[in-house]
Amino acid sequence: MGNGASTGIAASVAATSQADITAAVAGLTPDQKQKLMTALGSSGGPKLNILLQEDLTIRGGAQLWLMNCGSRLQAAGHQVTFLLPTKSLIVDDCKAIEGAKVEVYDEDKIAEKCDDFREQFTALLTPAHVCVTLVRQKRGTFQNVGFMGDCIAQAKLKTFLIAKTGTPDPSYEKSFYGGALLESGQCCVITIAEYTKDFIVQNMGVPAKLITNVYNGTDTSKFKRTPEMAVEAKVRYPLSDGDYVVGCIGSFEARKAQSVLLQAAKKLVDSARLPNIHCLFVGEGPDKQMLLDLIAELKLEKNATIFDFTKEPFYVFERCNIIALPSTGKEGLPNVLLEALAMGKPCVATKAYGMPEVVIEGKTGYCFPSGDVDALADAIHKISGASEADQKAMAQTGKEMVFAEHDKVKQFEKILTIIQEKATAAL
């Protein structure tokens, strides 16, 4: 079809009401609807109305993801509306997205009596083909996903609800993943790890058919090694050339369990299995002084160093032989592992949550039981004692896996496809 025909289609549909468009496509199959929307999208035709909702007020990775999602969808020609708490730290950023709309609600009052906000939420959901919301803990009377689902069900809307969730929380309830829409299947859940998907199915009773796993992605373009990076890494982290450097990046807090790595290092030094081990800790947090005291207590001053938090972790990865993540608390699928593997660095990590999905035994690294000092020491020693060829093979396998399955752009496109498919089905 030539440009003239496409322009003609665009002109015709531009003058058509949304109600007429909905009636026209009602009898089409899902595949036909998708093809029609693709064609209309390329010709400037009718676009999708998408509502994005978040209940937390912080500005973290999940909130930045939602902003990026809205920006991409708006740039594609769809109409995006953000629904956020009044104190959300991303309100101004969302308002800066050209064409996007931002609606707010009082986060304190909605927790006291969420029914007072039913009219506002329903009014925003009514024109929306799809609503994407991040699963959050219940606050007073308000749990965001369940409430959105109830609003859709009570008003008998066709809006499709997508709940995106991170690390599973045992205190969550089944309704947190779709509310009243779970029975009808007018909703779905996107998880970030197979572990999360399995946990929700087994512990919350959400049907597996409603859950799609899309791994978190990392910006692989930032994690490409260069000779210049190697030089700069040694400047920023001046350790001895003969050190076998085990990097550990993350906040200094109890759940990260950096003390387990220090105890493992002590065993490797005292047993002479790896006397030149050097633990490179990078981060910030309340446990920093405790870690400094533990280093002194274990007499590891020559085998461990703490550096400040950095926004350029690729220099840390470049300086290290391997990366360790000994966390004993909730982790999900940590970006630090994806980033390290993208840089060709084998990893050792706790055998919990989504970590074993990328730290594959003997292929990209080794996992060990939570808090097991001896097992962590053994895992580090296995990699350090492997032949140069085996270490290079492990590094290459990890890098190829991340670039193929965890690239940020590719993973984000998968989610955008789900959003657009579900929105199209709601026409």
Domain boundaries, the chain: 16-35+45-217+409-425, 220-406
**Residue 91 dihedral angles phi and psi, to the nearest 5°:** -55, -50
Tokens of 66: 């939602």
| 306: three-class secondary structure by DSSP | strand
pLDDT recorded at residue 29: 55
Is 220-406 CATH 3.40.50.620? no
Q: Find, among 22, 29, 68, the residue nearest to 49 by Cα.
A: 22
Q: Where are the alpha helices (DSSP H) in 126-241?
A: 144-154, 194-199, 227-236
CATH topology of domain 16-35+45-217+409-425: Rossmann fold (3.40.50)
Distance CA 368, CA 105 (A): 45
Say if residue 10's pLDDT is above 80: no
Domains 16-35+45-217+409-425 and 220-406 share a fold: yes
Confidence class for position 4, pLDDT limits 50, 70, 90: very low
Count of C-beta atoms within a 10 Å radius of residue 81: 21
Of 83 and 45, the structure prediction assigns the larger pLDDT to 83
Distance CA 234, CA 167 (A): 35
pLDDT recorded at residue 330: 81
Say if residue 421's pLDDT is above 60: yes
Q: Find, among 237, 234, 299, the residue nearest to 262 by Cα.
A: 299
Crossing angle between the packed helical segments 388-405 and 335-342, to the nearest 10 degrees: 120
Burial 230-263 (b: 16+ CB within 10 A, else e): eebbeeebeeeeebbbbbbbbebbeebbbbbbbb
Q: pTM (2 decimals)? A: 0.75
Confidence class for position 67, pLDDT limits 50, 70, 90: very high
| 139: three-class secondary structure by DSSP | strand
Distance CA 336, CA 282 (A): 12
pLDDT in tens, 235-260: 999 999 899 999 999 989 999 999 99
**What proportion of the chain, given as a percentage, has pLDDT over 90?**
74
Q: Tell me the mean pLDDT in the region 303-318.
A: 94
Confidence class for position 203, pLDDT limits 50, 70, 90: very high
Half-sphere exposure of 208 (CA within 13 A, CB side): 5
pLDDT recorded at residue 179: 94
Distance CA 287, CA 306 (A): 12
Q: Find, among 126, 134, 160, 135, the residue nearest to 30 by Cα.
A: 160
Tokens of 302: 């020559």
Confidence class for position 113, pLDDT limits 50, 70, 90: very high
